[in-house]
Amino acid sequence: MRVSLNGVDFDNVGATVVFEYTRQIKVHALEPRSGPTSPGTRVRMHGENLSKKNVASCRFGDKSKPLGIFFAESHLQAHCTAPAQLQPGPKELHLIFADNTSVPTGLRFYFHDPIVLESVFPSVISNISDHSAVTVTMHENLHSTSLAAAGSILCRFGGSETMSRAIYLSESKILCPVTDSARRVLLNPGDIALALSVNGGSDFSNVIKLTVSAPIVVHSIEPRMGPLTGGTHVSIRGVGFGALNVTHWLCQFGTLSTDALVKSSSEIICATPPSWARQCLVKVTWFIYSDDESTGIHGETNYLEYQYYPKWHDVTAVPMAGPASGGTLVSIVGIADLLRDMDAGNGHVQMQSRFGNSSIVPCTIDDNNASVLICQAPPSANLGLVPLMLSLNGVDFEELGVPFRYYEDVLVSSVDPTIVWTNRSTNLISSVSVFGGGFFKSPDLLCHFAADHYYEATFVSPSHILCPVPKAHSSLRGPVSLSVSANRLDWSESRVMVEFVDNLLTVTSIFPKYLSSQHETRFTLTGTNLINSTKLRVVLVGESIVEMVAVHFTNESSMEFTAPRVAGRDHCQ
């Protein structure tokens, strides 16, 4: 650099002085535009000719304020790190040159008190669902600016990659939505560091702890099916139901929800809603609300499958009556299509029945006919009609519309006569009298002679019925058990015997031919078709005597009996 004293002659000033021209420094924008007064707040500048060669340092406010640290990232970007001891409020940014001269940028940065987080609600979470958020409470101590005016409020869950844009609630409350990236972090049990930024992520508050408990998982639902009308009380079992301070539990069946009751940490009870769909997915959901219910969070479990079935129609039961001692195998017809649709053989269908107020008894599909359901009637202390109810899930019982009648157990004590000749042409007996108890007039009142010989009985009284004698061509021979049924299925115990013989017994001779008046007389009878029976008797009929004596069987052509002595000269036959 040279100097002239007359405007004409220029000469060197002695030492060489170099003066360098530079391009004008310009700052167009600050990012962020606000931050805490705590040391280390970084303000990014966007402009022109921003280089360390041109700028030595920076200052927020007038000359009385301490200098900050200037760092040039490029000619277009630089940042200034704020020093300590700054007060809240707007401060104009100045760039300081090496000679301590300054250039104002004309842009203000708003300093506020550091954000101090106090709490998060809820403090323990699990299975966070879509559209969930936690509520952060902080000290209401911002100056010169407000949360409502803040450009970008961010919540950070753990690392910097899990940030979400917050929702302003008040100057002391912020809602932090759980984004997909945050949800991935919140899947793992443990403590998560939660922080807040009101300047777009440049500066963050203190950290508070958000605890993630083990996931709430459902394992099973019982029963696994129910009627379309709903109302079935189901038990959902799983783990973790007691881990959270839940305000409201729900069971969600498809798109419909019902209130749930937590019985223990592993069981929840709820009622199914009505449905038009035969299949649906079930999950447990819950809400945790703040005390004033202004904020809350929503969670949900994994899914389980549930099946609905329609009401059955035109169902019949056979027989419709049985003994009070129970054991009647009742065939239920009319639900074959329903059982087929439900795949009843997969073990999920709990086919059960109830006769009146009796205990629950299981039912099975008939091995010989898949369209028939077999249910065994339990014993009953009372006689008469009771509703017959059926359940396909072991919980919901519905009347079939066909009542079942309990009757007194049928008892057979004796029969008269006990010997029947099968040659009806020579036998006047067409029926035998059966005595006992529990008889009643019914089209299902039957007599049973041995195997496969059934005959409709005639009711006489509760203790007396008539059973037809089998026809002459019957194959019945010898002693045959006799039993009685009042429902064509359950039979009395076979303690009474009837003896069937082929031909009529015929006596051809007797020896001796006289009775003694002094002592007993032993007679021998000969004849044909003689039978061995303790019921056989010889009847002695005279002018003054009528005597019936037992006969001792010798063989098919001979038998003996002993007659008492007779007085006088009476004759007998």
- How many structural domains is the chain composed of? 6
> How many C-beta neighbours within 10 Å does residue 122 have?
22
The H or E element that residue 503 is part of is none
Q: Is the pTM of this model over 0.85?
A: no
Asked if 84 and 97 sit in the same domain, the reply is: yes
pLDDT at 449: 84
Q: Where are the alpha helices (DSSP H) in 113-173?
A: none
Q: What is the CATH number of the domain that holds 371?
A: 2.60.40.10
Domain boundary pick from 112, 146, 164: 112
Strand order through the sheet with 102-112: 26-31, 42-48, 77-81, 67-72, 57-60, 89-96, 102-112, 34-36
C-alpha distances (whole Å) from 29 to each of 50, 93, 269 are 13, 11, 60
Q: Which tens digits make up the pLDDT trace of 523-539?
A: 898 988 777 776 677 77
Q: Which two tokens stand for residue 569?
A: 């000269």
The answer to whether position 76 is within a domain reads yes
Q: Which two tokens stand for residue 396?
A: 């919901």
Please determine, for residue 384, whether its predicted confidence score (pLDDT) is greater than 90.
yes
Q: Which two tokens stand for residue 323?
A: 């003994």
Averaging pLDDT over each range in 131-145, 175-189, 467-481, which range is the top one? 175-189
Domain boundary pick from 112, 143, 169: 112
Please tell me the least confidently modeled range out of 4-13, 429-438, 507-516.
Answer: 4-13
Q: Taking a C-beta distance cutoff of 8 angstroms, is the pair 115, 198 a contact?
A: yes
The answer to whether position 292 is within a domain reads yes
Classified as helix, coil or strand, 409 is coil
Tokens 């979470």 sit on residue: 125
Q: Which tens digits make up the pLDDT trace of 156-167?
A: 998 767 888 888
Domain boundary pick from 53, 86, 112: 112
Query: Could you tell me the pLDDT band of residue 407, with boundaries at 50, 70 and 90?
Result: very high
pLDDT at 428: 47
The answer to whether position 187 is within a domain reads yes
Q: Which tens digits make up the pLDDT trace of 439-469?
A: 999 999 999 887 667 889 999 999 999 998 8
Asked if 166 and 252 sit in the same domain, the reply is: no
10 Å CB burial of residue 255 (0-12, 13-18, 19+) is: exposed
The answer to whether position 138 is within a domain reads yes
The answer to whether position 365 is within a domain reads yes
Asked if 221 and 294 sit in the same domain, the reply is: yes
Please determine, for residue 489, whether its predicted confidence score (pLDDT) is greater than 60.
yes
Q: Which two tokens stand for residue 172?
A: 């002391």
Q: How far is CA 403 from the centre of its chain?
A: 30
Tokens 């169902």 sit on residue: 315
Backbone angle region of 473, left / alpha / beta, with phi > 0 → left and psi within -120 to 50 → alpha: alpha
End-to-end CA distance of the chain: 180
Asked if 101 and 52 sit in the same domain, the reply is: yes
Asked if 380 and 440 sit in the same domain, the reply is: no
Asked if 226 and 301 sit in the same domain, the reply is: yes
The answer to whether position 199 is within a domain reads yes
Asked if 431 and 497 sit in the same domain, the reply is: yes
Asked if 145 and 201 sit in the same domain, the reply is: yes
Nearest to 216 by CA among 234, 233, 235, 237: 237
Domain that residue 559 falls in: 506-563
